Structure 1
Amino acid sequence: MMKQLIRHEGMRCANCGAVLEGEFCHECGQSFHSVLKPMHHMAEETVETLLHIDGRIVHTLPPLLLRPGFLTLEYFSGRRVRYVAPFRLVFVLCLLAFFVCHLRLEDSHIDLGPNTQLHATDNSFNAATTPAAVELALQQQLAGLERAQDALGPLGGLAASDLTVAKNAARQQAAQRIQVLEAAPAAGTALQPSDSLPTAADAEVHTKISNDWLNSPSHIEIAWLPGFANDRVSKSVSHLKANLRAMESPGASRQEAFDRLLTNFFGMLPQTMFVMIPLFALLLKLFYVFRRRLYMEHLIVALHSHAYLFFSLLLGVSFGALSSWLAPHAAWVTYPLHWLEWGLALWIPAYLLIMQKRIYRQGWPMTLLKFGCIGFCYFWLLTLALLVAGALGMAK
């Protein structure tokens, strides 16, 4: 059995031979403790490490949510040990936030079955030949949508957004049909039930163009790209066309294609956001170029800003899921949860503005101006990044 060392006086480092002045060598950093230990010692160290991490989380998350810029200023001041490192913090919160968002979207998907649906159709509107008939058809469709939601029972609250979209679509279709009916007498033409529909020839041409592109060969040959890159692009385009064909087809294949797109999109989001963080730091560097700060300082600001955004997203989605789960059992609980969601949403811009003011220490007019410009640029960069992530998700 190896003897366990408990004193370092007079000892030398086994790695570099330097005289030890503590538990760790001041030359190479190696510990003087042996790594060959009984299993119960390893279990004790594992528990201690986990508790230490938990302690750092307790010291990190409250100021991250409630004290704008505090963690960043602490990091710049050299007080870093008691807090979770910025990159680790943003990495964990990013994965957790998008994972919970994905679960929330999957739980919100409701299969209404073959006889119950929350979709508006325009057949009854096209068949109506008077405004009164259109109004009657509209009332019938709205009543049918209400019955469809009631048939879902407690799950009806999860489909509230789908119901609103369907109602608005029905009202819009009815308004368009009424406009066609009112314009027909003025033009002196006889109105047919299908006048508001596109002709069969137009639909056939549109379908032919769409099918020609979707069914065409997907081989891509770009002269300045190597062969393996052309093969990869061709394969991605082929997957994109296959997903589009599946989403246009009726039945279960459409839902499978949509679920696959959603999964791939959320799989791309963490990578997309990790690209956005250094871009946001670059924006800070450009707008604060005369403050003579290193890019690494701006990167720490970007890491803490995004960590806060992911934490807020995680809390907001969790509050929404909890509200939907408790609504059938204790509806009164949903009101404070909704207020918390609104509070989080309103606190986000205020938090980021206060954080920018505290870290860069400029006056309010200049801070507000730069905050608006940085937010505008970041919004369009994020929009472009999300579009790319969606396209890449479709191409898998």
Structure 2
Amino acid sequence: MSGELEAAAADSLGHLIGRRRKAPPPGTPCANCGAELQGPYCHVCGQTADTHKRSILRLIWEAGEALFELDGRLWRTVPDLFLRPGRLARDYMDGRIVRHVPPFRTFLVALVLFIFAAEHAAHEETLSNARRKATEIAALKTPAGRSVAAGKIRDEAGTDLAADMTEARKDRAEALLDPDEKPGHAAAAYDRTIAKAEARYRRRIAEADRAAQGLAPDNAEAAVGEARTGWKAGLRKATANPDYYWSVLFSWGQRTAILLLPIVGLTLALVYRNRKQVFIYDHLLVAMNLLSFAFLTNAVGLILPGQLAIVWFLALAVWTPINLFQTLRGAYGSSVLGAILKTLIVWTTTVVSFGLLLLGLMVFSLNQL
């Protein structure tokens, strides 16, 4: 299996470096073993005769040629990936690869495009936040703008105080219903919670008064407030600086996207554990197809504007499990009922795993602020 993976990686690298292998002039010695070359590869040691010494423009041309032509295989592979994924996966598993783009290369290109799309979305979000902040700063230069900002802070402070007091009363009532809880302890815990909530409220009101006067926030007071709110400190920082938070989240999310490949591959191996003739490598091929589809379609959604992106992702919520069903039925020859059941298992496992990864990334990103 490792040899096949290395061959796939080498094939991908070869196409990224340059596609055409031209025979060297007669009598040219091999740079590695010195044998007289009789073609684009040495017949003794197997090393290519290509030195890869090209101009920058030539490298750019060959890279584009490799990505967009691929001897016509791209135009056979992509439609199958979206419309006939089962047939494509079956071709890969049966070794009919020459007619298609190698699955490992398709997976890498799809992942790179997804990363670029995610970076684009993060950049657009940063620009949007910058425009919003510029508007807020311009508004704070006027008395009316400062009054609105201060009023907003006071409203939010009042809402938070009411929510904290409601939660404190609920916790006290639950504690008093516990026969093992002493009433004095419940009352003391309630008083401490209320005191903290009122202290936060006073700090927010002081912040609103400073905003009304056009003064900057008191950083010392803000630091004390964050230290006393525990895990909420990171959340407050993320709310205050969402562009930086999303940049951290996207940065780590791109690194962990590759983890979905072993997760999906192992899930397929578990649901098809009775297929002795199917090996882990075959499951990874199918997983590459599934994730290539997911990365490419989500990349499209990330670059679409506003409402169109929402419609696209809603459509993907239906299209993705259908694509999974078609893949499992075509690749493994499952019955309709069997493919449906296994689709539910693989889909649920992948969504839950992705959700846990995303949740872990969100918490981790909060700690990085």
Give the TM-score, by structure 1 length: 0.56
- Structure 1 residues 49, 202: closer, same or farther in 2, change over 3 A? closer
- Structure 1 residues 245, 351: closer, same or farther in 2, change over 3 A? same
Q: Which residue number corresponds to residue 264 of structure 2?
A: 280
The residue identity in structure 2 corresponding to 1:291 is R
Tell me if 1:31 matches 2:68: no
The residue identity in structure 1 corresponding to 2:329 is K
Tell me if 1:203 matches 2:190: no
Tell me if 1:303 matches 2:268: no
Question: Does the 8 A contact of 1:100 with 1:318 survive in 2?
Answer: yes
Q: Which residue number corresponds to residue 351 of structure 1?
A: 323
Q: Any idea what SS the aligned residue of 1:290 has?
A: coil
Q: Which residue number corresponds to residue 214 of structure 2?
A: none
The residue identity in structure 1 corresponding to 2:290 is S
The residue identity in structure 1 corresponding to 2:113 is L
Compare the two structures and name the one with the higher helix fraction.
2
- Structure 1 residues 121, 44: closer, same or farther in 2, change over 3 A? closer
Per-residue Cα deviation, 1:98-120 (whole angstroms, up to 9, x for no partner): 22342454456545735379998
Q: Which residue number corresponds to residue 391 of structure 1?
A: 363
1:386 CA displacement: 1.4
C-alpha RMSD of matched pairs (Å):
4.2
Question: Does the 8 A contact of 1:316 with 1:344 survive in 2?
Answer: no
Whole-angstrom CA distance in 1 between matches of 2:326 and 2:152: 44
1:24 CA displacement: 0.9
Q: Which residue number corresponds to residue 141 of structure 1?
A: none
The residue identity in structure 1 corresponding to 2:294 is L
- Structure 1 residues 26, 81: closer, same or farther in 2, change over 3 A? farther
Question: Does the 8 A contact of 1:8 with 1:23 survive in 2?
Answer: no
Whole-angstrom CA distance in 1 between matches of 2:322 and 2:338: 16
Whole-angstrom CA distance in 1 between matches of 2:44 and 2:199: 74
Q: Any idea what SS the aligned residue of 1:345 has?
A: helix
The residue identity in structure 1 corresponding to 2:65 is L
Whole-angstrom CA distance in 1 between matches of 2:337 and 2:78: 30
Q: Which residue number corresponds to residue 271 of structure 1?
A: 255
Q: Any idea what SS the aligned residue of 1:92 has?
A: helix
**Match runs of 1:2-13 below 5 Å:** 13=30
Per-residue Cα deviation, 1:112-135 (whole angstroms, up to 9, x for no partner): 7353799986969x99xxxxxxxx
- Structure 1 residues 352, 93: closer, same or farther in 2, change over 3 A? farther
The alignment covers a number of residue pairs equal to: 273
Q: Any idea what SS the aligned residue of 1:348 has?
A: helix
- Structure 1 residues 22, 259: closer, same or farther in 2, change over 3 A? same
Q: Which residue number corresponds to residue 245 of structure 1?
A: 233
Question: Does the 8 A contact of 1:94 with 1:307 survive in 2?
Answer: no
Match 1:377 to one of 338, 349, 361: 349
1:357 CA displacement: 1.0
1:318 CA displacement: 2.7
Give the TM-score, by structure 2 length: 0.60
- Give the unaligned 5+ runs of structure 2: 1-21, 137-144, 167-189, 201-225
Question: Does the 8 A contact of 1:102 with 1:266 survive in 2?
Answer: yes
Q: Which residue number corresponds to residue 315 of structure 1?
A: 300
Q: Any idea what SS the aligned residue of 2:274 has?
A: helix
Match 2:67 to one of 41, 53, 57: 53
Q: Which residue number corresponds to residue 210 of structure 2?
A: none
The residue identity in structure 2 corresponding to 1:262 is W
Q: Any idea what SS the aligned residue of 1:291 has?
A: coil
Q: Which residue number corresponds to residue 219 of structure 1?
A: none
Q: Any idea what SS the aligned residue of 2:101 has?
A: coil
- Structure 1 residues 118, 105: closer, same or farther in 2, change over 3 A? farther
- Structure 1 residues 6, 58: closer, same or farther in 2, change over 3 A? closer
- Structure 1 residues 118, 52: closer, same or farther in 2, change over 3 A? farther
Whole-angstrom CA distance in 2 between matches of 1:388 and 1:25: 51
1:278 CA displacement: 0.5
1:363 CA displacement: 0.6
1:74 CA displacement: 3.8
1:288 CA displacement: 0.8
Q: Which residue number corresponds to residue 214 of structure 1?
A: none
Match 1:260 to one of 230, 244, 256: 244
Question: Does the 8 A contact of 1:97 with 1:311 survive in 2?
Answer: no
Question: Identity over aligned residues, as a percent?
Answer: 21
1:359 CA displacement: 0.7
- Structure 1 residues 81, 244: closer, same or farther in 2, change over 3 A? farther
Whole-angstrom CA distance in 1 between matches of 2:239 and 2:366: 14
Tell me if 1:102 matches 2:74: no
- Structure 1 residues 6, 385: closer, same or farther in 2, change over 3 A? closer
